Amino acid sequence: MRELVETAKQWVAEGRAGYLARPVTEQGFGPRDPAGAVLVDARGECVGSLYRGVFDAELVAEAVAMGPGVTARVCEVSVAADEAVAAKLTCGGQAEVLLQPLAAIPAEWWELLGEGVGVALVTRLNEAADRASSEVVRATAVPGDDAGRRAGELLATRRAGRDALYGETGLVLVEAHPSAPYVVIGGGGELAVVIERQALLLGWEAVRVEAAGPAVEAIGARRDSACVVVLSHDEQFDVPTLRAALAAGVPYIGALGSRRTTARRREGLLAAGVTEAELDRVHGPIGLDLGARTPAETALAICAEILGVLGARKAGALRDTEGPINT
């Protein structure tokens, strides 16, 4: 949704009758963008991506049909398996898509999204689903109800997500857009470069630092979204960097090295005043056990572990799990 900010602000400034469309509930479709959304207007212009555009014309027609005073419309859309192949979707599916006039979306929402900060939008629909009110919830806000608490939970995962709740007055859509993970890579060499590339591929931000001072500074400046990957084997770098990461409470801290190096690093941190409980938060040896050998494979294992930790998931084969896959 962040890629829609400039267009949304421009349309509002122009007084254009634009609408924001995004899913409320979904089944099928395979892997998809949890922040997928599209802006449509009465002239048929569409900006953004939702199900590879297969429903864009339908959403434009629904938007045009919204009567005066209507601030929301929930549209049911579906695509069969053969249609999904033609649209280059992984598989067919069905969804309920919420359409709202841009005038009904708080201007603060677009401003905060544009700044890249962690923020959620809580939209409450009435029972007829033709009226809606939206409010912005910041990552630092104290939750006042179930929707606020759910917004906080989603933002804490550092991954964009949506959830639909059912309250006394109707449906409540919670949309969370945390700030992108900011991977502080401590150390140089080929592996640092490949980890940076992998992070950028995932839509994260990344910085490579080779001295403790800049590393500590980077962590402090982005403590709300920082993830720390230490590749160095130098105690003068490792100890202050890891201590800073632990003190900042960043959600992921990992350190590369053999089991012997990990043990030696642990002793150095204990001597520096770090507690056993704090050390349990350091992932070392770093990465998932994928049998990685090359720098590219190791970068994948590290970023996969970061992804799992941020999503509060224990990595394992999907065939060994139950329940929905794309959650």
Q: Which tens digits make up the pLDDT trace of 214-232?
A: 999 999 988 878 999 999 9
Averaged pLDDT for residues 88-93: 84
Which residue in the block uniquely carries the two structure tokens 């963008």? Answer: 33
Cβ atoms 176, 155 nearer than 8 A:
yes
Give the domain-ending residue among 177, 207, 228.
177
Asked if the structure places residue 198 within a domain, the reply is yes
Q: Are residues 52 and 142 in the same domain?
A: yes
CB atoms within 10 A of CB 259: 9
Give the domain-ending residue among 148, 177, 206.
177
Query: Measured between alpha carbons, how far is 262 from 255 in angstroms, rounded to an integer?
Result: 8
**What percent of the chain is predicted at pLDDT more than 90?**
57
Q: Are residues 106 and 233 in the same domain?
A: no
Q: Are residues 172 and 191 in the same domain?
A: no
259-295 pLDDT per residue, tens: 899 899 999 999 999 999 999 999 998 999 999 999 9
Asked if the structure places residue 114 within a domain, the reply is yes
The beta strand positions in 29-146, using DSSP E, are 37-41, 46-49, 73-79, 93-101, 119-125, 132-138
Q: How many CA atoms lie within 13 A of 311 on its CB side?
A: 15
Asked if the structure places residue 302 within a domain, the reply is yes
Burial category of 242 from C-beta neighbours within 10 Å (exposed 0-12, middle 13-18, buried 19 and up) = buried
Q: Which domain holds residue 226?
A: 182-310
Q: Are residues 27 and 158 in the same domain?
A: yes
Which residue in the block uniquely carries the two structure tokens 């199900």? Answer: 51
Asked if the structure places residue 37 within a domain, the reply is yes
Give the domain-ending residue among 177, 196, 227.
177
Averaged pLDDT for residues 138-166: 86
Cβ atoms 129, 72 nearer than 8 A:
yes
The 119-125 sheet, strands edge to edge: 132-138, 119-125, 171-177, 161-166
Cβ atoms 5, 110 nearer than 8 A:
yes
Q: Are residues 107 and 193 in the same domain?
A: no
Which residue in the block uniquely carries the two structure tokens 């009226």? Answer: 131
Residues 6+ apart with CB under 8 A from 302: 195, 198, 229, 254, 256, 286, 287
The sign of the CA dihedral 172, 122, 137, 179 is positive
Q: Are residues 56 and 95 in the same domain?
A: yes
Number of domains in the chain: 2
Q: Are residues 155 and 36 in the same domain?
A: yes
Asked if the structure places residue 323 within a domain, the reply is no
The residue type of 225 is: S
Q: Are residues 278 and 168 in the same domain?
A: no
Q: Are residues 194 and 142 in the same domain?
A: no
7-36 pLDDT per residue, tens: 999 999 999 999 999 999 988 887 778 888
Instruction: Give the angle subtended at the CA of 35 by the CAs of 33 and 41, to the nearest 5°.
Output: 105
Structure tokens at 174: 């919670």
Q: Are residues 146 and 253 in the same domain?
A: no
Q: Are residues 108 and 251 in the same domain?
A: no
